[in-house]
Amino acid sequence: MKKLSIEQYTDYWENTHGRCSNDLASVNFPNKPVWFNRFFDRVQKFAISRYLKEVNISGKRLLDLGCGRGRWLDYFRNRGVEVQGIDLSKNAVRICRKKGYICHQGSIEDLSILQGCFDYINYHFHYYKILQTNDDLLE
């Protein structure tokens, strides 16, 4: 499996955010119906909510890596967390900034653009979309 360059990843996410009008489809499954993406979103949030019953995150600082259009920024801000995001897509960052978030356009390979320290890092990525074998994890 050939590793994508940062430019290829950036192009992919710019194109995805540019063509998807639905916020959930843009970060979950762009080619699936709205109901499917809503279901997937609810499943993920249910799982996170169960974990968070045991953890007090209110007042903490969280960085969302690959924040997309801010669905996890919304989720955690609504739970009293001070949030900040970073994403490859200029379109996604623009949407997050319109919502009032501190959001940076860039790669997680260069976190020097971030402001401050964080108590938590949120990162949701669907490896099963990309990896063919377990050996691909080693690359």
Please list the pLDDT of the chain residue by residue as tens digits (139 residues).
Answer: 677 788 888 888 888 888 888 888 887 888 889 999 899 999 989 988 988 888 889 999 999 999 999 999 999 999 999 999 999 999 999 999 999 999 999 988 878 878 788 999 898 764 433 334 444 444 4
Domain count, the chain: 1
Within a domain: residue 118? yes
**CATH number, domain with residue 112:** 3.40.50.150
Query: Do the domain assignments include residue 35?
Result: yes
Question: What residue numbers bound the domain in which 111 lies?
Answer: 6-138
Quote the pTM value. 0.81
The reply to whether 69 falls in a domain is yes
The answer to the question of residue 119 being in a domain is: yes
Cα 129 to Cα 47, 98, 117, 125, 132: the distances in Å are: 20, 30, 31, 9, 8
Residue 1 lies in a domain: no
Count of C-beta atoms within a 10 Å radius of residue 23: 18
